Structure 1
């Protein structure tokens, strides 16, 4: 599979749409976490009450969480389909494969930055970020 290479201008041009997609994904991730916490509390309440009528009272909540997780996987996949690498959801961290001075690198954007201003090698990762010239 060929890797799409981005220029800094292309990466920065994609950022507004990617940031919008990231915000949707962040909200979804937060919703999943909250629903999982609610489910755990409900299960703990049921265990402490000892009540059980044979039916699974958590089927609907568990199904909703599974559905939201599938939706999240699709959203994450959208980043890959655009040729970028979503490294983190919270805080947002997106890498764009690129070529600088004949070397394969990743242009790196972190949530809160106005534009792509750094890059790193494929092996160095975020800690090896260097400013773009």
Structure 2
């Protein structure tokens, strides 16, 4: 795991980070859909008898378990790279860095072409400041 990133190192990771965020967003959406489907199925079988010897929830629950495993693996890959995943839905990530001897977080959000902002480690997205032009 990388302790600190330069702006160039963080920017070099943006394409793979972007791809992983898109995958996570897709997994999250599929999970939500399957969860809703499972709730409908459970409601149905509260009023109807399931087929003999068959678990009507098994397939959906297995699919959800697999999606959860896949999502957890992607989240772990962020950690292994040293990238902090802050929010899946908005595609928000931070890269630990140093600026003028201070520990900061380079901040990137899905839709941005490159890293242009940072904030202190105790500040959130609302505390973003523009990086000085090199």
TM-score greater than 0.5 by the shorter chain: yes
Answer yes or no: is 1:50 the counterpart of 2:64: no
- The ranges of structure 1 where at least 4 consecutive aligned residues each deviate by more than 6 angstroms after the TM superposition are none
* 8 Å contact from structure 2 (residues 96, 105) kept in 1: yes
Q: Deviations over 1:35-61 (max 9, x none)?
A: 1111111111222x3324464310221
Structure 1: 5+ residue runs without aligned partners? none
Structure 2: 5+ residue runs without aligned partners? none
Question: RMSD of aligned C-alpha atoms?
Answer: 1.5
Change (3 A) 1:3 1:12: closer
Q: How far apart, in 2, do the equivalents of 1:7 and 1:110 lie?
A: 17
1:114 corresponds in structure 2 to 113
> Tell me, what secondary structure is at the counterpart of 1:16?
helix
Q: How far apart, in 2, do the equivalents of 1:33 and 1:117 lie?
A: 33
Q: TM-score, normalised by structure 1?
A: 0.91
* 8 Å contact from structure 2 (residues 2, 81) kept in 1: no
Count of aligned residue pairs for this structure pair: 131
2:29 corresponds in structure 1 to 30
Q: How far apart, in 1, do the equivalents of 2:63 and 2:83 lie?
A: 29
> Tell me, what secondary structure is at the counterpart of 2:67?
helix
Shift of 1:3: 5.3
